[in-house]
Amino acid sequence: MKFTETALQGAYLVAPERIEDERGFFARTFCRREFETHHLNFNLVQCSVSFNRQRGTLRGMHYQSAPHAETKLVRCIRGAIYDVILDVRSQSPTFGRWISTVLSADNGLMLYVPEGVAHGFQTLELESEIFYQISEFYAPEHGRGIRWNDPAFAIEWPIVNPILSMRDRMHPAFVR
């Protein structure tokens, strides 16, 4: 796997190294040893899938608060998404900054999202499916969200008028 540091402290783009032949390819998508080599302690305890029927579906911006803050490894296994992470760690040198990348079944890229960083995505294709590897068990009482269009962060989404759940529509503006 190839690890590329992003502009947000502790966040990485991870590219599986494909071994290809006439049948297709094989690629490793997780290896604890390789993550540890990059000083990424990833204790995998849970995996989840998000399936999205419509193009323009937006989910986010989500995170869990301490003591259940979670690290995520996010990969699009069908379709394509515009993936966004937002640093909401008050002591971080990249606090308040966000980055985006396209994750797709075709490019196979993964995004390593450190704890304390909010995550969201917008689907770019019909029937997009996202696979999450997560370091903490889901704790609903620690689930947090930030409004997807909070003017304090001015995240640029590619599709205007997204499809949103009522929960995501009602997330508050961020308060430091």
* Sequence spans of domains, the chain: 2-169
- Among 141, 103, 112, which residue's Cα sits nearest to residue 2? 112
Residues 56, 163 contacting (CB under 8 angstroms)? yes
Task: For residue range 58-80, list pLDDT tens digits in order.
Answer: 999 999 999 999 999 999 999 99
SS3 at position 159 = coil
Task: For residue range 105-119, list pLDDT tens digits in order.
Answer: 999 999 999 999 999
Q: Known catalytic residue: 63?
A: no
Q: Which residue in 62, 63, 82, 119 is the catalytic one?
A: 62
Average pLDDT over residues 12-33: 95
Q: Known catalytic residue: 62?
A: yes
Q: What is the CATH number of domain 2-169?
A: 2.60.120.10
Q: Which residue in 12, 38, 68, 132 is the catalytic one?
A: 132
